[in-house]
Amino acid sequence: MWIQKTLRLLPARRGFHLVTPEIVGAVPELRSIQIGWMQTFIQHTSASLTINENADPDVRVDFETAMNHAVPETLPYVHTLEGSDDMPAHVKSSMMGASVMIPIGNGRLQLGTWQGIYLCEHRNHASGRNLVITIQGETD
């Protein structure tokens, strides 16, 4: 069985935002998959997706701090038409990645106890973001 849906996330401030509930809520068919995979892909070049700690909100703050240190806005970028945060956002997006792949078992994502899916918003004033969710699996 194949399922594919597009999810439009509301605009989010710059930072790291837990979006696991929105993703799971967009694909109620997930509950019927006994074994399979879910890929979530972001259709943007200045935001990314990752999986990490979902319990302590300090992790989200530290991610933003680390990424800003690794990719500062003060470098002499050439691509600056869309603002000082644009090219750093593209670099961060490439570093973090445009998709995550998660196994499915018994109708649930097989994330670890402390894992969640994050939207990594790298722009100061971003619009909403589109995610394409694709599931392949066997049903009951």
Domain regions of the chain by residue span:
14-33+41-127
Q: For residue range 18-53, list pLDDT tens digits in order.
A: 999 999 999 999 999 999 999 999 999 999 999 999
The pLDDT assigned to 140 comes to 77
The pLDDT assigned to 99 comes to 98
Residues 26, 5: contact at Cβ < 8 Å?
Answer: yes
Which stretches of the chain drop beneath a pLDDT of 70? none
CA atoms within 13 A on the CB side of 76: 0
Taking domain 14-33+41-127, whether its CATH number is 2.60.120.460 is answered by yes
**pLDDT mean across residues, the chain:** 96
Residues 3, 139: contact at Cβ < 8 Å?
Answer: no
Q: Torsions phi, psi of 72, nearest 5? A: -75, 155
What pTM was estimated for this model as a whole? 0.95
